[in-house]
Structure 1
Amino acid sequence: MSIADQRTDAEEITTGPAGTRGRRRRAALIATPLLVVGVALAATNLRPAVTSMASVLGEVRDDLGASTAWISVLTAVPTVCFGLAAIAAPWLGRRLGAGRAIALALAVLTAGLVLRIVDGPWVVLGGTFVAAAGIAIGNVLIPAVVKESFPHAIGRITGIYTAGLAAGGGIGAALTPPMEQLLGGWRGAVGAWAVLSAAALVVWLLGARHGEDRGPVVATAGTRRSMLRRPLAWVVTAFFGLQACVAYVAMGWLSELLFSEGVSRTDAGLMLALISLIGIPLSFVVPPIALRQKSQSGWIVGLACCSLVAVLGLAVAPAAAPWLWSVLLGVGMGVFPLGLGVIALRTREVSETTDLSAMAQGFGYLLGAGGPFLFGILYGATGGWTASLMLLAAVIVAEMALGWAAGRPRFV
């Protein structure tokens, strides 16, 4: 199935009069306060599986006797899953409906969080892959639910969604190191996040209710040019992938980098939490302002500059001002909601938005997955962080150039 043929809502092929082929589309989830809570809780669970493991990465490596190459694979697995599921999730949403598909995603996430603490290195990798697959489905389908169920409050509910993402990433990083001491090791601390995802599943099952069936819709004639043939679509995709690369390098390696430079494990976890928590106020402030303007290029470059200064600071004097570097990284990661917004702004129709979103998240996350892996490989090969950080700085410069092009007011 091509990207151009994907849809985010559940559709069932029907046959109308004279053999006309159409689609019976399941109604949107009913917009209720409980659904808003469900969206917020589901979003909060889409990052702790990544940041909780990252905050105790050294203990995991030592306990399992794992190599640096294995750790590099572990940090890259979530982003690979995010890319693959961006293509698969719309199909799942059509078959099950968004409500059931997201419920399945939360159930898979819970199972993966439990699985990855029960055995050795390969089970940890497998469990992480399962958990990340659940996260990836939510990454794609929850924003579709927001757009479809809250058409007159997209900005407000999107702010709640992205704030939930940031909060989940922050608490996962901040609480896991102290929980490690309380629960007798990294397995208990990492596995405890399954309780939060199970709670989110219960709330989602209670709050996700479909309205009346929309009835059959006759397919429209004509064909659309594939997003794969549109140059601007590739620019947006590359920009989204590079910002994801920077974000997941930070989430996967910042805590370990700071700890190796003399920062305590608890403080390193708090600093990792800080870069996520800064995204909460940014989610409510930056997108409503930037996305109303004609061009987003200046905002994207300005935020990315903060990341660049932080990375250069970590390369030159990591222990001199670790809190400052963490704050700057957190501000720089504010490009993520702008990346989502640019996908909508660079398209004219909802169908094009869906196509570009699937392409940008699918190929973009796969591109971003190389960042954590190469960052770790360079660290293992050189025995220091400088080469890895210089590579990351180069990625940020490329992100700024592509973000400038993606933010200009034009359409794919």
Structure 2
Amino acid sequence: MAEQEAHTEGTIATGTTERVDRSRHAALLGTPLLVVGVALAASNLRPAVTSMASVLGEVRDDLGASPAWASILTAVPTICFGLAAVAAPWLGRRLGTARAIGLALTVLTAGLILRIVDGPWVVLGGTFVAAAGIAIGNVLIPAVVKESFPHAVGRVTGIYTAALAAGGGIGAALTPPLESLLGGWRGAVGAWAALSLAALVIWSFGARHGSVDQVRPATTERRRSVLRSPLAWVVTAFFGLQACVAYVAMGWLSELFVSEGIARTDAGLMLAAVNLIGIPLSFLIPPIALNRTSQSGWIAGLACCSLAAVIGLAVAPAAAPWLWTVLLGVGMAVFPLGLGVIALRTREVAETTDLSAMAQGIGYLVGAGGPFLFGMLHAATGTWTASLTLLGAVIVAEMLLGWVAGRPRFI
């Protein structure tokens, strides 16, 4: 029933009152089919990044692009994740969560196709469009998990992040072979549009609203902006730093190994392994850690694995590349805990959406500097030492902020 009543849901900056369509804003039914829809949507949130990263050298050579262009390309996804994430709560209110995520998958598909049709600037533009679709899904899917599966947040978060890791790993592992099979990087990178289109079809069947009686109750009170919460800023900074580490790894790990004499196919498999290691860990860690009072110890332990990997890459990258890969993959399993603390540090679904937008919007903008600075330091020095030193400092800061974010309290 359209335009029935005023409904107050705060934005990141202030509480605002908007008239909404109740039928669109009823909670999505927490069915097994919705779990499948969430998993398939999540599986499309990383191949746009890892598929390009696994053939970055060939793309740059074919387009005659500069090292600075390659650094910008690796930073574009995280920049767009930050900018577009701010609009996600508004889209969710205006369209309803199901339609907003469907729109996200449509935009993602369009961007994946656009970026293979022309030269360097079109590649950047198409990547930005694809990342905009990813950003909407990044923000809204955690809210779907909290609202539709309130008693299984850890388990469904694990499924979501496992699917996300699987998508990233498959994108990295299959793109180099697809490059040979399809006659170049354009066909290999563009092929992932088929996966996002398939996810859009499945999502349209899996996302079903419940009764209008399940609409979140309206309130006439303004909620405090999450921007005024110190804990929200800690969660945001922690999320941004873990994103920085993840996107440096996804953007540059393959090139680092290739520069050390490792075959590109093997380097692509190592990049895939970093993502794929997160699959079993996503099933194991979130259900345990997110059901405990505090997540601080888990976050610190995983960050230590990342730090050990970076030290190994700096000291002897070619001596034990698979060991550094495994340690880095284990460390990146902190990501589901980053999503989990967003839900656990909030009391209401609307707060979860706002904190998710803040943590991912601002956090990804912070994280975007990592791949760019990592690449530019390498270009300036000709070695990876300065870049890896910077990454190690980021991991230490992530560990400290994650310890605070993991403590049991609310924004």
TM-score by length of 2: 0.93
Aligned residue in 1 for 2:230: 231
Find the aligned partners of 1:367 and 1:384 in 2 and give their Cα distance. 24
Match of 1:326 in 2: 325
Distance 1:220 1:108 in 2: 33
Offset at residue 36 of structure 1 (A): 2.3
Aligned residue runs from structure 1 range 160-309, under 5 A? 160-214=159-213, 219-309=218-308
Aligned to 2:251, the other structure's residue is in SS state helix
Residue 32 to residue 274, structure 1, CA distance change in 2 (3 Å)? same
Partner of 1:94: 93
Structure 1 distance, partners of 2:264, 2:273, is 14
Verify the 8 A CA contact 1:26 1:214 in the aligned structure 2.
no
**Which residue is 1:17 aligned to?**
none
Letter in 1 for 2:265: T
Q: 1:197 to 1:6 in 2, by over 3 A?
A: farther
1:215 CA displacement: 8.3
CA separation in 2, counterparts of 1:2 and 1:144? Answer: 14
Give the structure 2 partner of residue 141 of structure 1: 140
Match of 2:49 in 1: 50
- The answer to whether the 8 Å contact 2:29/2:208 transfers is yes
Cα 1:394/1:64, change in 2 over 3 Å:
same
Gaps of 5+ in 1: 15-21
CA deviation vs aligned residue, 1:160-197 (integer Å, no higher than 9, x gap): 11110010000000011111111111111101111111
- Which residue is 1:158 aligned to? 157
Distance 1:279 1:217 in 2: 34
Q: 1:27 to 1:225 in 2, by over 3 A?
A: closer
The answer to whether the Cα contact below 8 Å between 1:241 and 1:364 also exists between their aligned partners in 2 is yes
In terms of mean alpha carbon deviation, does 365-374 or 217-226 score higher?
Answer: 217-226
| Structure 1 residues 384 and 6: CA distance shift in structure 2, 3 A | farther
RMSD: 2.1
CA positional deviation for 1:69: 0.7
Matching residue of 1:59: 58
With 47-56 and 359-368 compared, the bigger mean Cα shift is at 359-368
Letter of the 1:153 counterpart: A
Following the alignment from structure 2 to structure 1, what is the Cα–Cα distance between the partners of residues 266 and 79? Answer: 29
Return the letter of the residue paired with 1:197.
S
Match of 2:72 in 1: 73
Across the two proteins, how many residue pairs are aligned to each other?
Answer: 402
Higher deviation after alignment, 384-393 or 353-362: 353-362
Counterpart of 1:3 in structure 2 is: 12
Go from structure 1 to structure 2 and tell me whether the alpha carbon gap of 1:207 and 1:215 turns closer, same or farther (over 3 Å shift): closer
Deviates further, 215-224 or 297-306: 215-224
Q: Is the 8 A contact 1:279 1:333 kept in 2?
A: yes
Q: Is the 8 A contact 1:6 1:90 kept in 2?
A: no
Counterpart of 2:233 in structure 1: which amino acid?
Answer: W
Q: Which amino acid is the alignment partner of residue 228 of structure 2?
A: R
Change (3 A) 1:31 1:289: closer
The DSSP-based 3-state class of the residue aligned with 1:3 is: coil
- Equivalent-residue separation in structure 2 for 1:217 and 1:170 (angstroms): 37
> Which position in structure 1 is the counterpart of 2:398?
399
Alpha-carbon distance in structure 1 between the residues aligned to 2:379 and 2:19: 52
8 Å CA contact 2:22, 2:212 repeated in 1: no
Q: Return the letter of the residue paired with 2:96.
A: G
Structure 1 segments, 4+ long, off by >4 Å, are 4-7, 22-25, 215-219
| Residue from 13, 19, 25 that aligns with 2:19 | 13
Preserved contact between residue 237 and residue 363 of structure 1 (Cα < 8 Å): yes
| 1:367-406 matches, cutoff 5 A | 367-406=366-405
For 2:234 and 2:389, how far apart are their aligned partners in 1? 23
Contact 2:60 2:66 in 1 (8 A): yes
User: Is the contact made by 1:56 and 1:176 (CA closer than 8 Å) also made in structure 2?
Assistant: yes
Write out per-residue CA displacement over residues 132-154 of structure 1, whole angstroms, 9 at most, x where no aligned residue.
11111111112222222233433
TM-score by structure 1 length? 0.92
Cα shift at 1:380: 1.0
Deviations 1:272-296 (A, max 9, x none): 0111111111111111222222222
| Cα drift, residue 82 of structure 1 | 1.1
Flag the 1:218–1:246 CA change in 2: closer, same or farther, 3 A: closer
Q: Retained in 2: the 8 A contact 1:64–1:120?
A: yes
Offset at residue 406 of structure 1 (A): 1.5
SS at match of 2:19: strand
Q: 2:12 corresponds to which letter in structure 1?
A: I
Q: For structure 2, which runs of at least 5 residues remain unmatched after alignment? A: 1-9
Q: Distance in 2 between matches of 1:334 and 1:223?
A: 36
1:346 CA displacement: 2.5
CA-CA distance at 1:343 after TM superposition: 1.9
- Per the TM alignment, residue 235 of structure 1 is displaced from its structure 2 partner at its CA by 1.2
The one-letter code sitting in structure 1 at the alignment partner of 2:297 is G
